[in-house]
Amino acid sequence: MLEGSYIDETTPRPGERRIGPVSRPTRRGYHHGDLPAVLVREGVALLAEAGVAGFSVAKVAARAGVSSAAPYRHFPDREALLAACAAAILADLTGVLAWAAEQAGPDPVERLAATAGAYAGYVLGHRAGIDLVYSHDFGVTHREAVHEQSRRFMDVLMKLAADALPAGTSWAGVADLVYVHVSAAHGYAMLLAGGTRPPQNVEEHAARATAAARDHLTGHLARLRG
């Protein structure tokens, strides 16, 4: 039921793969310290390996070492678990992007461009997981947790984009840029992640995504200047 957040609040580094609090000290003497968190963690891992199509509550339960009925004590149905996984992925990704911008130095264009590379690197590392966030229709019931994380994700990018654009650019103008920026990074990563080929050259591909974003920003700014 999503009581509380399964998301690690500390900002993760790109390589770490850490998504939820793996072992928060147990509150009482249950079999698991925190089964909901374990389920989300295993769900995210399963999504990365098998995609949304290969996702099932039973498999997640088996991974977590509990019976197939156990998850239903914490999540009312499959969609709820799926939504929790999506929210966790988005939160993690947001942290990764913020961190990448931080590392990119002071130039606003470079900071925004770096998020494209980080996005591509993240998706290549997490495979199918990310397609869930965008291509799955969450029912109204479960949409909110995902939406909240989605908002935080956009906040980070909007701020970076506003810095990169001329002072006084309208909100709509900033949003347009962010949308295209995210789209391009997403598309680049999805095309790469689509094949079965292993995620080799992740660094190189991330660098290309960054370069593409830089090119786009350059052209965009040139057009704005007339």
The three-point CA angle 176-219-201 to 5° equals: 90
Closest CB to a copy of itself among residues 10, 135:
135
Closest CB to DNA among residues 55, 153:
55
**Size of the chain, expressed as the number of residues it contains:** 226
197 CB-contact burial (10 Å; exposed 0-12 / middle 13-18 / buried 19+): exposed
Rule CB under 7 A: is residue 223 a binding residue for DNA? no
Q: Which stretch binds a copy of itself (CB under 8 A): 9-17, 19-27, 47-55, 92-100?
A: 47-55
Rule CB under 8 A: is residue 131 a binding residue for a copy of itself? yes
161 CB-contact burial (10 Å; exposed 0-12 / middle 13-18 / buried 19+): buried
Look at residue 126 and give the partner it binds from DNA, a copy of itself, none, a contact being a CB closer than 5 to 8 Å depending on partner kind.
none
Question: Site map for a copy of itself, 150-189, x if CB under 8 A?
Answer: --------------------------x--xx-xxxxxxx-
CB of 214 to a copy of itself, least distance (A): 7
Contact predicate 51/110, CB 8 Å:
no
